[in-house]
Copies of this chain bind each other. A is one copy, B any other.
Amino acid sequence: MGMSTALLTDRYELTMLDAALRDGTASRRCVFELFGRRLPGGRRFGVVAGTGRLLSEIADFRFDDAELAYLRDNDIVSPATVRYLEGYRFGGTISGYREGELYFPGSPILTVEGTFAEAVILETLALSILNHDSAVATAAARMSIAAGDRPLAEMGSRRAAERSAVAAARAAYIAGFSATSNLEAGRSWGIPTMGTAAHAWTLLHDSEEDAFRSQIDALGTDTTLLVDTYDIRQGVETAIRVAGTGLGGVRLDSGDLPTVAASVRRQLDELGATETKITVTSDLDEFAIAALAASPVDAYGVGTSVVTGSGTPTAGMVYKLVARQGVDGGWVPVAKASTSKASIGGRKAAFRRRADGVATAEVVAVADGFDEVDPPSAHPDARPLQTVLVDHGDADAAHLGADGVTAARAHHLRVREELPVMALALSRADPALPTVYEVSEA
């Protein structure tokens, strides 16, 4: 059991709860849907990430003495609401896309069913986690596609707030990165970690040679030496003189990388270090990685751009009430109607339509009733996209912890194969699949 996550919440969620407990609507059964209206940044597909983290944090969404005292002492809610929150545990059901799944505008990524009271107060937490993690995963998937078979490490912790850094490492790994520099991501989520030395290591020593020799003594010849603290040509020469031609790798963290990589490869080969690998790590993003495809680079390290979503730091998903119980107990689909932010009411079911194994459309079936949503008819090759994640308050353990991360990464790499080739291009475009709404026969 972790720290309480209950106050990672916008005040208005509790204000609404307060008023709803008072007027009796708190117990109305509701369906909230989490979805994105568009793919920001001109991306061709989005990648769902954060689901496993969310399920854990919902389990920790409880109001202990400290949380209740804050709410009471600051008159955030009434004493009756404090009493309700004392016993709060989410007891509803959440279905949704598997972590690692692709999504498109309107994809019903999460569907949260419960009383208004229990479901409304999860809004902020659900959006915080999914918006951040999916933005990182979406950018990371593009980098992973651009890197092809070359290993790709996430090393952007210093460019993200300290706890987001862990979430970002996790999201990048799910989207195809091979490792992270972040130790907490290694401990919490079982992600492979990497890293050898910074420029400070070289500067600490009386000479670059001393620094290299000491690193090799400690880590072995198979280590990667950072050769650009002073002069790169001299650095490479010293590295091979000290380590021998069996040196594992050199790392380049500055300069025009295609030029520098080519010249370092030539120099290494001339020195006989033909197996020594070159890792590059300076200000890479998906475009820089793609531009290095023809360069003699063996591995990439990416920092700032992946943890900040490469220009799109939030996925912009929203959490909307789409259906609720009416006065007569029957179900009412609901939707905001006003300009520019309209949404589609009613519970949804989602399928990816495919032809010859290639995805052709995101099909969203909208229920005209509530409980039943029929699969879209006459599409035998449509893959259902939703699964039950939380059943009456119980999270499916398959999505949790390190095992959940491993499963999400495997799922992502598998479903990415279904994408049409044009979805893999990096330039700005419309979503690669159209979202097709179908009104299901009740």
A contact set with B: CB distance below 8 Å: 3, 5, 7-16, 18-20, 22-23, 25, 28, 30, 32, 57, 66-67, 70-71, 74, 76, 78, 116, 120, 123-125, 127-129, 131-133, 155, 157-168, 181-184, 186-187, 193-201, 203-206, 214-215, 217-219, 228-232, 253-255, 282, 304, 307-309, 313-314, 316, 319-321, 324, 326-327, 334-341
Question: Which residues does chain B contribute within 8 Å of A23, judged by CB atoms?
Answer: 214, 217-218
Interface-central residue, A7, A133, A228, A309, by most chain B CB under 10 Å: A7
Interface-central residue, A125, A167, A205, A314, by most chain B CB under 10 Å: A314
| A326 nearest in chain B by CB position | B206
Question: Which residues does chain B contribute within 8 Å of A219, judged by CB atoms?
Answer: 15, 19
Is A11 a contact partner of B254 (Cβ separation < 8 A)? no
11 contacts between A and B (CB under 8 A): A9-B182, A11-B183, A22-B214, A22-B217, A32-B200, A70-B186, A158-B319, A203-B334, A255-B339, A304-B316, A313-B313
Is B214 a contact partner of A25 (Cβ separation < 8 A)? yes
Is B15 a contact partner of A197 (Cβ separation < 8 A)? yes
Interface-central residue, A10, A30, A186, A205, by most chain B CB under 10 Å: A10
Is B5 a contact partner of A201 (Cβ separation < 8 A)? no
Min C-beta distance of A100 to chain B, whole Å: 18
Complexed CA–CA distance, A230 and B341 (Å): 11
Is B335 a contact partner of A165 (Cβ separation < 8 A)? no
Complexed CA–CA distance, A430 and B101 (Å): 43
Is A195 a contact partner of B12 (Cβ separation < 8 A)? yes
Min C-beta distance of A402 to chain B, whole Å: 12
Min C-beta distance of A22 to chain B, whole Å: 5
Is B204 a contact partner of A20 (Cβ separation < 8 A)? yes
Complexed CA–CA distance, A174 and B327 (Å): 46
Known: A30-B204, A304-B316. A338 touches B230 (CB 8 A): yes
Complexed CA–CA distance, A313 and B132 (Å): 12
Complexed CA–CA distance, A313 and B199 (Å): 25
Is A206 a contact partner of B123 (Cβ separation < 8 A)? no
- The one of B10, B71, B157, B327 that contacts A182, using a Cβ cutoff of 8 Å: B10
| A228 nearest in chain B by CB position | B338
- The one of B11, B186, B320 that contacts A194, using a Cβ cutoff of 8 Å: B11
| A303 nearest in chain B by CB position | B314
Complexed CA–CA distance, A103 and B327 (Å): 58
Question: Which residues does chain B contribute within 8 Å of A203, judged by CB atoms?
Answer: 321, 324, 334-336
Is B10 a contact partner of A181 (Cβ separation < 8 A)? yes
Question: Which residues does chain B contribute within 8 Å of A125, judged by CB atoms?
Answer: 162
Min C-beta distance of A30 to chain B, whole Å: 7
Complexed CA–CA distance, A168 and B132 (Å): 14
Q: Which 3 A-B pairs have the closest CB atoms?
A: A12-B195, A19-B218, A11-B195
Min C-beta distance of A217 to chain B, whole Å: 7
Question: Which residues does chain B contribute within 8 Å of A314, judged by CB atoms?
Answer: 159-160, 304, 307-308
Question: Which residues does chain B contribute within 8 Å of A161, judged by CB atoms?
Answer: 128-129, 132-133, 161, 163-164, 167-168
Complexed CA–CA distance, A195 and B334 (Å): 23
